[in-house]
Amino acid sequence: MPATDTTYDAIVVGVGGMGSAALYHLTRHGATRVLGLEQFDIAHDKGSSHGLSRMIRLAYWEHPSYVPLLRRAYDLWRDLEGATGEALLITTGSIDAGPAGSPAIIGARRACDMFDLPHVLYDGASLTRAFPGYRLPPDFTALHQPDGGFLGPERCIRAHVAAAQRAGAVVHTHERVLGWTERGESVAVRTDRATYTCRQVIVTAGAWAGKLLTDLQLMLTPERQVMLWVEPLRPEYFQPATFPVVYMHAAEGSFYALPSHEGAGVKFGKYHHLRQQVDPDAMDRECHPEDEHVLRECVRRYFPDADGPTLAMKTCLFTNTPDEHFVITRFAGSPITIAAGFSGHGFKFCSVVGEILADLALDGGTRHDISLFAPRRLT
């Protein structure tokens, strides 16, 4: 293929958390002509990769297969910090909390035992003595793992994109992909501006993935979420040094919280907020009193010293699979590689998923175990 302005080794569709990492790792992997196509801004607030802080935790209760990927993700985040000079990952420790028999506690303990992760167990009272911002019920179990913390998602995306551009990658914003056609050993990618030719396509389109990958549409469900930032009544209890990030399973549902950082306030969210399945192009992006009520219920009951004025509220999107595990694959005999369905817990993995996607696109396989994420499990 002749090298022209519309001919590339690989094209990444969607340059959010996963796509920015894929773009970066393609260049690290030796691809010299790489194009990223993003329908919004770089580090926009329309999808799933925004909100100032995103949790990262190593005692992963969801499935043991995630822990080796997380270890690699930590290494790659630190590598990116070194390459860019950006502070991206803040360590606070992490808390998984809930009744002793809840999935969060059973799974977190299993992960710690399987992978020899240092951790400490607390009941509600002893947790408050250690971390005064918490007011959990006395019969709750809380597992503290010191490696947890949070990432700055907008900073991470910009860092990945800037590093990829320095290595020669091209990024187009405000350009929407309409589809593609496979033509033997190449692919023609059509946008609302032009048509590009490449050898490999990586689709990291988030909540829009189902619209582009119609075979997976029924497996991917976009869901409206809301994030709340509050000004704490006792700020000293909710700093990164005094308030570990938390995932908590309670009678009211599953909640998360992250410490105040750079003046933004303490952040709270509820998984599957109001269980609103949405079209990402038509979603209600305004926040309403009902949204705040859902989150204030958690703040007032379990973190009362954080129950100060609302500083901000923001919507975001989950893209859920039926089992809430990811979909990552290269289609057999095809130049199309996909990463989708991150179900509200994917951002922490962006660095390693980017590496995996570059491996799949350029080598046809990866050394990482991604068998859990094969889409055939959902059919």
CATH of the domain at 138: 3.30.9.10
* Residue 203: strand, helix, or coil: strand
Dihedral of alpha carbons 357, 359, 365, 368, sign = negative
Are 142 and 245 in the same domain?
yes
pLDDT surpassing 80 at residue 2: no
Within 10 Å of residue 67's Cβ, how many Cβ atoms?
A: 18
pLDDT above 90 as % of the chain: 96
Are 310 and 370 in the same domain?
no
Which of 320, 336, 369 finishes a domain? 320
Number of domains in the chain: 2
Are 108 and 228 in the same domain?
yes
pLDDT band at 5 (very low <50, low <70, confident <90, very high): low
Q: For the chain, what is the mean pLDDT?
A: 96
Are 284 and 295 in the same domain?
yes
Are 213 and 227 in the same domain?
no
pLDDT surpassing 80 at residue 165: yes
Are 227 and 137 in the same domain?
yes
**Type of residue found at 311:** L
Mean pLDDT score, 224-239: 98
Are 226 and 276 in the same domain?
yes
Are 311 and 352 in the same domain?
no
Residues of the domain holding 283? 94-146+221-320
Are 136 and 229 in the same domain?
yes
* Distance in angstroms (rounded) separating the CA atoms of residues 55 and 344: 11
